[in-house]
Amino acid sequence: MTDLELVDLAFTMLERSYVPYSHFPVGAALLCSDGTVFTGCNVENAAYGSTICAERTALVKAISEGHQDGFVRLAVVGNSVDYCWPCGACRQMLYEFAPNLELLVAREDRTFVKLPLGDLLPHGFGPKSLN
Ligand code: THU
């Protein structure tokens, strides 16, 4: 799957978002090395802190379906003027399973930035940090 196809797939997830509080839909699409793609959207909650972001939805779907490694690329998209940068909690969760993940971060005009997760979370704390 090309970068553009992964970004387009993430955009299709915006309509699945449950965002009655922020009205800020986010979509995600996570590509595995075997070609499997897991999609995600943000799901909010009246207890705001219980909200789950689109990236973590995609990641947790992947893990719960038996994919714990081999993550290659993740598209994160929003209908925002600025690029839809992953929040700190998502950066940390992704680092646990895919410290070398490539990110495609898009904005409303569908242009996107491609960069490694390590650029957004340098010197991250991961499983090896516990040794
Ligand atoms: N959001 C995401 O889905 N991913 C991020 O990395 C940033 C924030 C969602 C959470 C909330 O539903 C909305 O965007 C506004 O913060």
pLDDT tens track for 33-66: 999 999 999 999 999 999 999 999 999 999 999 9
According to the model, what pLDDT value does residue 65 have? Answer: 98
Alpha carbon of 34 to ligand 1 centroid (Å): 28
Alpha carbon of 54 to ligand 1 centroid (Å): 7
End-to-end CA distance of the chain: 36
DSSP annotation string for 1-30 = --HHHHHHHHHHGGGG-B-TTT---EEEEE
Instruction: Band the pLDDT of 76: cuts 50, 70, 90.
Output: very high
According to the model, what pLDDT value does residue 127 have? Answer: 97
Mention every residue, 6+ apart, whose C-beta is less than 8 A from residue 45.
51
Tell whether ligand 1 has an atom less than 6 A from the beta carbon of residue 44.
yes
SS3 state at 61: helix
Catalytic site residue from 44, 55, 65, 96: 55
The angle that helices 54-64 and 88-97 make with each other, rounded to 10 degrees, is: 20
**Ligand 1 atom closest to 57 (CA):** 3
According to the model, what pLDDT value does residue 62 have? Answer: 98
